[in-house]
Structure 1
């Protein structure tokens, strides 16, 4: 079995038993990232700003492994309202238009904090191209 590296970053990690990011071999997976910075919600009511912040948090976790947007091979966006597809998609395109990872966008019934409109996950590859 491959050695697993873990990066902490969320106060719920210990409570729920997960890691912000995990690397196993050449793959790095980042857990659901939400639009909070130092405990403060960013972009309240603005799905574009929330998506940018959530992806920024996810990319910061990848940065701990020396990776950036070009290493991302899969993204998942979870949004609370179908009306926010364009806003979340625009934020995604700005960050990943060059990399063009496989992507999924799902409308969900809600999040742990009702002010959250967007949560994201990313997976990256850190091997040779």
Structure 2
């Protein structure tokens, strides 16, 4: 069935777009937590652990966005998102609630597996990693 593979020729470029938008979304969380922009009420008074998380999202999100040290950055972010899910969301309601729909951890779970996939698949052709590899 030919409709199943109609996007197959664009897989490398779609991987790059997936990495870019995943990095951009994580970067925005880092900007919001560290620089308080945009002003969001739930990031008004954030504890030190969230500042550390924001710093990781800011730095490694930027690396992911640019496609520099992509596999390493994505792996670190996948671990951070797993940590965020189990520490920040799973026990949010006072008891262990594993369902992301109930504990608010849907984004953390998705980011975890998105970054894990990027760590395995690589940056795609539109990345600084690919540019540096082609110059060498």
**Whose helix fraction is larger, Structure 1's or Structure 2's?**
2
TM-score between both structures, scaled by the size of structure 1: 0.29
TM-score between both structures, scaled by the size of structure 2: 0.28
Larger Rg: 2
**Whose strand fraction is larger, Structure 1's or Structure 2's?**
1
Considering Cα pairs closer than 8 Å and 6+ residues apart, tell me whether 1 or 2 has the greater RCO. 1
